[in-house]
Structure 1
Amino acid sequence: MSAPGRRRPTNVLANAPFRRLWTAASVCSLGDWLNILALTALAANLTEGGFRNQSLAVGGVFVAKMLPAVLLGPLAGAFADRFDRRLTMVVADLARFAIVVSIPFVGRYQWIIIATLLIECVNLFWVPAKDATIPNLVPKQQLEAANRISLLVTYGTAPVAAALFALLSVADDLLHTTASLLQPTSLALGLNALAYLVSALLIFTLSGIPRRGGAISTPSVLRQIIDGWRYIGTNRLVRGLVIGMLGAFAAGGAVVGVAKVYVLAQGGGDAAYGTMFGAVFVGMAAGMFFGPRLLSGLSRRRMFGVSIVSAGVVLAALALVHNLVIVVMLTALLGAFAGIAWIIGYTLIGLEVEDALRGRTFSFLQSTARVVLLLVVAVANPLAALFDKRTVQLGQITYAFDGTNLVLLIAGVLAAVVGVLSLRHMDDRPGIALSDDLLAALRGEQYKPEVDEQLPGMFVAFEGGEGSGKTTQSRLLAIWLRDQGYDVVQTREPGSTKVGMRLRAILLDAAERGLSPRAEALLYAADRAEHVEKVIRPALLRGSIVVTDRYVDSSLAYQGAGRALDPSDVAQVNAWATGGLVPHLTVLIDTPPEVGLTRLGGAADRIESEPLEFHEAVRKEFRALAAAEPGRYLVVDGTLPSEEITRQIQDRVREILPDPVPQESEDVTGTMPAIRD
């Protein structure tokens, strides 16, 4: 317990020790980005022999930069577990300072490669020590905020570094300096070295870092990849997310790998290179912040796939354009689409992957991304060098096309293909044309299929897992609506018709363990077709309000996610069975399965007796469906008191109610037995 009267800071940066470490990390991050820009530019500038040799030289720098992380990561993590973390970081900063200072004085390409390898090896010890220190400096409830702003400076300093590098290059052009130590690359390396020295001083004066802490040793990259695929291979949604994000990494690696040589081929210098580099990250920041807001009506899963396809198209256009001003604009647009995909992908993984597997999934993604980046950067520049330069004559038009254009074009096409594959894996609105969905989102709306205007009634569906409380709440809503003077038809699935009652007996019989998932989906669709034809549609034609306990979303969640059937197949079968009839409002009672299952009484039926993992998958799919169409859903926390849930439902339903026209009420379920939630 904290001491009486002592208030914990609400802002994590109000924590002085963490603020000092965060400042050191920010300065180091700025230095790291300057280092990348300066070393790649210097490698190209020191290399003679034209386009091909420059491509290979820049590629060598990137390979040297990423290779240590793949090979030595576990060793560095183990080191951070066992030694004084403050001393580790201070020594690492001083070592990086000494190495970076030496580069302009030596001035040889071979030393650039050796220095890059040494700096990255040192980084592998600094980063785990820093990450392991953060939990010791902030309260547990502020750890997420601390990690978030740490990630912010990791990428947020990139455009600052790019702007500094561009300014140094412009100043050099204006002053026409010839001294090697006053070149923009040397000045950038000097600032980089100074950043490491400042970081060392900040951390040296930091107290409160223990010598040892909880183990954070990292397993080998190969082990992380193998373990990750074991899980991801069984989850269609996460598989689509990972395919898309790795495709985006590969495309980004191609851009980063050939950017310097590409700018040189277009007649630009270091200033243009820095501007193009910064444009990527400015675009990413804009995409992360504005993209999901500008297209709020578009399903997040669809937005993820569309953003990757769009990035591929922009990248292909970038490969064909020779105007540097347009290139920078396209680069910013490319970054925006990449930012949208990145933020949505990470958010969906956080939502869709259960807590016990979330860290493993992120670890798999990060490890695989390293390997993908290494392979792409290693291949991109040699491929560009192999193709060299070509000139195409089209009538009186001469078009120059070199290896960097080819690499970017291939990367753009591959990114578009990966985006399409990802979209096919993740599409949560099958049967609705993507073009209609996208046009509606651009207008600031959410596309809704046209509802049969000959049905004057109102249709409300209740969804949720076992024991969620939806049956109770649907009954209470029907009673409340009747009290308001409306004609209400309260019904349920399966079992609201004579045929449905027979199907219900089969579907819920615990003895029917051998029923195949496809047969189960078709039986539910058959019950639903009869339900719509005999109960729901006639009631809507009379102008009644229909309140149903379960509808199409239950099949999408239980059979699509729980039984791992293709969601597009399940959606198409049910769209045909219902004639495309969509509720005006779907109320989702969101209750954790471990809570809902304890509410059930008596012997468990065939669905209730499924393992907890099945019910977790069902709940995640319900929530994803609601997130895809927030305008048609009301999501209520099922753990709230029953009276509060009822109030929230009534408030939402009141917004869409027609003027009351009192009629004689009809309850088609009046002779039905009670239904368990």
Structure 2
Amino acid sequence: MMTADGLRVALLVVAPLWIDWTPGEATAVLLVTVFVTGVAERLWTICRESAAPALLPSVPAGDAAVRPLPDNLDALRRLSLRTGFVALPLAAAAFATITLFSNLLGAVVTWFHLHQAALGSYVAAGLFAACVSILYFVELPGGRTPRVRSPLEGLRRPRSGATGDKGRTADKGRTGAVPLLVAASATVAAAIAAAVAVSLLHIDDLGGGPVGFALLVLALTGGTVLGIRSAPKVLPALSRRRMLALSIALTGLALLAVGLTPDPATVLFLALVAGTAAGIAANTGHTLLDQETEESRRGRTTDHLHAVVRVFVAVAVVAAPLLAGAIGEHRLESGSFVFAHGGAGFALMLTGALLLPVAALVLIRTDDRSGVPLRRDLRDALRGGDPDRRAPAGNGFFIALEGGDGAGKSTQVEALADWIRAKGHEVVVTREPGATAIGKRLRSILLDVSSSGISPRSEALLYAADRAEHVDSVVRPALERGAVVISDRYIDSSVAYQGAGRDLSPTEIARISRWATDGLVPHLTVLLDVSPETARERFTEAPDRLESEPPEFHQRVRSGFLALAAADPARYLVVDAGQEPEAVTTAVRHRLDQVLPLSEAEIRAREEARRAAEEEARRRAEEEAARKAEEERLERERQEQLARLRAEEEERKRREAEEARVAEARPTASS
């Protein structure tokens, strides 16, 4: 890593000088310099991915006795992605600031006036030099490090089924939308990459300089970061699939306008809009992909997405400038109307225009509100609802299990209740409708097949009445005393069944339910997702009024549940309920291990495990100290024994020498 940084320091220091040293071949030499710098960056990244895991913190002793150990490697990968996203807009902002200062410096020093980007190159060289000094003092522990992953690893679409199974097929997700979502997300990323690639050419056509180039890159990339951060808060009541299509369309229209507009200030604003819309599309697409796959397979799908995005971005970065150069400057005149644009403007317009059919395809192929006009859905989302007040749930923990009829909610409620009780928690199992005396009477009305003539609005209000009584008399008191409440259905069932299934406004249904529950929201909502066909095969009794609805109704309900999960992914866990019940339970337990508070028994077990681990460590340390002391004692005795032997040997040699002298002296005395 130090070698790569040192090479980049040297290249960035020399780069501005090539213009003076090789004026006729400066462009070619600078391209080679940039290429070598990129190679050094890749080598640095490989070394970082090998060395960084060794710096991860160790888990405190005893924690594994109660909960699974945290995945620090996954956290490291997420940190790397976030810093990668933020680095480019920060660099653009820094370059704009440095270039402005360089322009001021150029008024005094002519050389900086002729080399406006030189100061930025030297500042970058200084940063890399600082990295060298920091890395010099970093101590890496020994041991093996993880294998460095190729940036294109995962390019092939993940397959479902066990490894080695010849019947494995490409994993298309719960609703078959994975291929289209990956392609759409990669296309948006490629569009922004293409815009960044031609931004220097376009800003030059508009009469701007290095500062304008930096601001345009900042608008495109900074807007993307802003969109990614703000996406969950943008029209939360709107279907995320429709949000993806609309954000892609807005990105395309904004890029189209960037290519058409001759005013630099307006171009910067439109670029910010394009970047923000692209960020919303990226976040929404990633959320929908997570929803399409099981948590255990989510990593492979994410790797596939990142690999495809890298390929699309690489192609766009290379192709966009070549396309701009091939198109060249064009000028059209018709009377007083003059249309003059460079090749970069036409490339931007073409890029934006290509996004529009992608948006239309996403809307047509993935729409989960096909029975509701887009205009009405968008109007309801823009109106919004009451503020999403989330009432405190006391000291307890609230879990809601949702899903269509036949998803296996009752089975999972019982399994989870037994597992959580074994951890030492008080568990309250409840359901909707029918958990209270009043609720039982309402349940008989709502589910009786003889009530088939009830209007959708009356049905929604009856469910809200049951829920208000349920929360006030069962759920909230249990939470206030610190219990874990597991409810078979809650608010989301009304939004899915009466909102999506009955084609009422989901926003209105959610508003009624929030009022009925005083804003009480579960800590975790587990959505057991299963196709209506599979669910119907599980019915063992005569279907009730809702179970008797046609398949189209249940498909709309399923889409409604998935739309809710996509709008608030942090609170939802979507599990494929078509698996064996044990596999479903395992997936839910894995999430609860991360979010469920420790019971008093678990806290005591953790403390006992920690004390036992500390006692074991102390015992081993004492044994090691005793062993070393014994070794030192034995070594001292051995050295003392050797010293005695050497002394005895020396004494013996002295006596022999003395005896030899005496023996020699006797013949002399005799003579």
TM-score normalised by length of structure 1? 0.59
Given that residues 50 and 145 in structure 2 are in contact (C-alpha distance below 8 angstroms), is that contact kept between their aligned partners in structure 1?
yes
Instruction: Measure the CA separation in 2 of the matches of 1:144 and 1:212.
Output: 18
Match of 1:276 in 2: 216
Q: Superposed, which structure 2 residues align to 1:135-284 within 5 Å?
A: 135-139=53-57, 141=70, 143-174=73-104, 175-176=106-107, 177-179=109-111, 183-210=115-142, 212-218=144-150, 224-225=155-156, 227=158, 231-233=170-172, 236-284=176-224
Q: Assess, with a 3 A threshold, how the Cα gap between structure 1 residues 445 and 128 changes in structure 2: closer, same or farther.
A: farther
**Is residue 624 from structure 1 mapped to residue 562 from structure 2 by the alignment?**
yes
Instruction: Measure the CA separation in 1 of the matches of 2:371 and 2:556.
Output: 21
Given that residues 311 and 412 in structure 1 are in contact (C-alpha distance below 8 angstroms), is that contact kept between their aligned partners in structure 2?
yes
Q: Assess, with a 3 A threshold, how the Cα gap between structure 1 residues 439 and 97 changes in structure 2: closer, same or farther.
A: same
Q: Superposed, which structure 2 residues align to 1:130-529 within 5 Å?
A: 130-139=48-57, 141=70, 143-174=73-104, 175-176=106-107, 177-179=109-111, 183-210=115-142, 212-218=144-150, 224-225=155-156, 227=158, 231-233=170-172, 236-445=176-385, 463=403, 465-468=407-410, 477-482=433-438, 487-490=441-444, 497=449
SS in 1 for 2:270: helix
Q: Assess, with a 3 A threshold, how the Cα gap between structure 1 residues 109 and 211 changes in structure 2: closer, same or farther.
A: farther
Q: Assess, with a 3 A threshold, how the Cα gap between structure 1 residues 416 and 180 changes in structure 2: closer, same or farther.
A: same
1:355-377 C-alpha deviation (Å, 9 max, x unpaired): 34322222222222222122222
- Give, in angstroms, the shift of residue 444 of structure 1: 3.0
Deviates more, 1:344-353 or 1:186-195: 344-353
Q: Aligned letter for 2:99? A: S
Instruction: Measure the CA separation in 2 of the matches of 1:297 and 1:310.
Output: 19
**Is residue 123 from structure 1 mapped to residue 41 from structure 2 by the alignment?**
yes
Q: How many residues of Structure 1 are paired with residues of Structure 2 in the alignment?
A: 473
SS in 2 for 1:404: helix
- Give, in angstroms, the shift of residue 479 of structure 1: 4.9
Instruction: Measure the CA separation in 2 of the matches of 1:468 and 1:161.
Output: 54
Instruction: Measure the CA separation in 2 of the matches of 1:625 and 1:405.
Output: 38
Instruction: Measure the CA separation in 2 of the matches of 1:322 and 1:94.
Output: 42
SS in 2 for 1:256: helix
Instruction: Measure the CA separation in 2 of the matches of 1:196 and 1:432.
Output: 55
Instruction: Measure the CA separation in 2 of the matches of 1:152 and 1:541.
Output: 43
- Give, in angstroms, the shift of residue 332 of structure 1: 1.1
SS in 2 for 1:240: helix
Match of 1:101 in 2: 13
TM-score normalised by length of structure 2? 0.59
Instruction: Measure the CA separation in 2 of the matches of 1:210 and 1:310.
Output: 51
1:533 to 452, 455, 459: 452
- Give, in angstroms, the shift of residue 469 of structure 1: 5.3
Q: Aligned letter for 2:316? A: V
Given that residues 372 and 503 in structure 2 are in contact (C-alpha distance below 8 angstroms), is that contact kept between their aligned partners in structure 1?
no
Given that residues 18 and 29 in structure 2 are in contact (C-alpha distance below 8 angstroms), is that contact kept between their aligned partners in structure 1?
yes
Q: Aligned letter for 2:290? A: G
Q: Assess, with a 3 A threshold, how the Cα gap between structure 1 residues 376 and 492 changes in structure 2: closer, same or farther.
A: same
- Give, in angstroms, the shift of residue 207 of structure 1: 1.0
1:331-354 C-alpha deviation (Å, 9 max, x unpaired): 111111111122222333334322
Q: Aligned letter for 1:478? A: G
Q: Assess, with a 3 A threshold, how the Cα gap between structure 1 residues 435 and 274 changes in structure 2: closer, same or farther.
A: same
Q: Assess, with a 3 A threshold, how the Cα gap between structure 1 residues 489 and 634 changes in structure 2: closer, same or farther.
A: farther
1:18-48 C-alpha deviation (Å, 9 max, x unpaired): xxxxxxxxxxxxxxxxxxxxxxxxxxxxxxx
Query: Which of structures 1 and 2 has the bigger CA Rg?
Result: 2
1:576-606 C-alpha deviation (Å, 9 max, x unpaired): 99xxx98976999955879x9xxxxxxx994
Match of 1:92 in 2: 4
Given that residues 228 and 360 in structure 1 are in contact (C-alpha distance below 8 angstroms), is that contact kept between their aligned partners in structure 2?
no
1:141-185 C-alpha deviation (Å, 9 max, x unpaired): 355554444433323232332223223333344434532697232
Q: Aligned letter for 1:202? A: I
1:481-538 C-alpha deviation (Å, 9 max, x unpaired): 427xx85243798xx65xxxxxxxxxxxxxxxxxxxxxxxxxxxxxxxxx77367879
SS in 2 for 1:296: coil
Q: Assess, with a 3 A threshold, how the Cα gap between structure 1 residues 625 and 608 changes in structure 2: closer, same or farther.
A: farther
Q: Assess, with a 3 A threshold, how the Cα gap between structure 1 residues 105 and 167 changes in structure 2: closer, same or farther.
A: same
Instruction: Measure the CA separation in 2 of the matches of 1:204 and 1:409.
Output: 48
Given that residues 99 and 120 in structure 2 are in contact (C-alpha distance below 8 angstroms), is that contact kept between their aligned partners in structure 1?
no
Q: Aligned letter for 1:480? A: T
Instruction: Measure the CA separation in 1 of the matches of 2:288 and 2:243.
Output: 12
- Give, in angstroms, the shift of residue 392 of structure 1: 1.8
Given that residues 488 and 546 in structure 1 are in contact (C-alpha distance below 8 angstroms), is that contact kept between their aligned partners in structure 2?
yes
Q: Aligned letter for 2:442? A: V
Instruction: Measure the CA separation in 1 of the matches of 2:453 and 2:7.
Output: 78
Q: Assess, with a 3 A threshold, how the Cα gap between structure 1 residues 359 and 93 changes in structure 2: closer, same or farther.
A: same
SS in 2 for 1:179: helix
- Give, in angstroms, the shift of residue 295 of structure 1: 1.8
1:518-574 C-alpha deviation (Å, 9 max, x unpaired): xxxxxxxxxxxxx77367879859979789x999x99x999xxxxxxxxxxxx99x6
Instruction: Measure the CA separation in 1 of the matches of 2:537 and 2:462.
Output: 36
Instruction: Measure the CA separation in 2 of the matches of 1:375 and 1:532.
Output: 60
SS in 1 for 2:110: coil
Q: Aligned letter for 1:401? A: H
Instruction: Measure the CA separation in 2 of the matches of 1:423 and 1:538.
Output: 29
Q: Assess, with a 3 A threshold, how the Cα gap between structure 1 residues 209 and 349 changes in structure 2: closer, same or farther.
A: farther
SS in 1 for 2:146: coil
SS in 2 for 1:490: helix
Instruction: Measure the CA separation in 1 of the matches of 2:567 and 2:299.
Output: 28
Instruction: Measure the CA separation in 2 of the matches of 1:540 and 1:476.
Output: 14
Instruction: Measure the CA separation in 2 of the matches of 1:541 and 1:193.
Output: 65
Instruction: Measure the CA separation in 2 of the matches of 1:370 and 1:240.
Output: 17
Identical aligned residues as a percent: 25
Unpaired stretches in structure 2, ≥5 consecutive residues: 20-25, 60-69, 161-168, 387-400, 415-428, 468-487, 515-520, 541-554, 575-584, 597-671
Given that residues 330 and 341 in structure 2 are in contact (C-alpha distance below 8 angstroms), is that contact kept between their aligned partners in structure 1?
yes
Q: Aligned letter for 1:206? A: V
Instruction: Measure the CA separation in 2 of the matches of 1:281 and 1:541.
Output: 45
